[in-house]
Each structure stands twice: as C-alpha cells, then as structure tokens.
Amino acid sequence: MKAKYTIVSAMIGNFALGAAAVQGLHAQSKPPAYVIAEINVTDKDGYVKEFLPLATKAIQDEGGKYVVRGGNSVSFQGAPPAGRVVVIQYESLDKAKEWWNLPARKDADAIGEKYATFRIFAVEAASP
C-alpha cells in the first residue's frame, strides 16, 4: 500500500514540475520588444539635467536596456530621423506597455516636453 502512495506522490510531483517547466518555457517564448524614440531637443541643458535622470530611472526600473542612445544616424531612404534616436529593449511588448503606463514615466515626460519633442513607438521583435 505504501508503494502505491509513493508512486502516486512521485507522479503528482513530476506532473507539477512538468507544468511549471512548460509555463516557464511559454513565458520565454515571447519575443523582446523595442521602444524607439525620435527626439528633437530644443534645450539641451534642461533636457540633460532635468529630464534624462528621471527618464533613465523609469526605464531601468521597468527592466529596459538601452540599445541605442543618441549617436550618429544615416538616412538611406526617406526623411532623416530626428536629431536624437533612442532604442530601448524590453523583455516583451507587455513590459514595454507597463513602462509606458508608469506614473514615473509620465512625470518625466511632463518635464521632457519642456525641452524636446518626441515621437515614440514600440515594435515586437521577430519570434525566436
């Protein structure tokens, strides 16, 4: 009788472990997302001193990683991008949306709008 309980317990434990592994793999199958911002800075000093520290903290607190942060750009076709281009990677489009809805991000934007104009959008990466 004890052997039956041991086998049943082992089966239930293995089933639970397998279900957790499948759930973990499913969560990992979401492709990363990239937030792309084109920024025209009108007051560099205010932008750097007042806006950037708040914006950077909100991005990093939500797990964002800078891929591109300014730098030179070249337009191969169509209108050239804004003066400053920023690309931020998030683990998923859902995480990017969470960042977008953060009160800290909204507070930073209220300050940033005094020093720059923004075009910001997110795009999901190709599935693995």
- 22, 19, 49, 23: which is closest to 116 by C-alpha? 49
Please state which of the four CATH numbers 3.40.50.800, 3.40.50.10860, 3.40.190.10, 3.30.70.100 is assigned to the domain occupying 31-124.
3.30.70.100
Give the number of residues written for the chain.
128
Q: What does the pLDDT look like over 6-58, one tens digit per residue?
A: 665 666 766 656 655 556 555 568 899 999 999 999 999 999 999 999 999 99
Provide the terminal-to-terminal Cα distance of the chain, rounded to the nearest Å.
Answer: 48
Q: What does the pLDDT look like over 97-116, one tens digit per residue?
A: 999 999 999 999 999 999 99
3-state secondary structure of 43: coil
Whole-prediction pTM: 0.74
Q: Are 44 and 91 in contact (CB under 8 A)?
A: no
- 28, 128, 26, 34: which is closest to 90 by C-alpha? 34
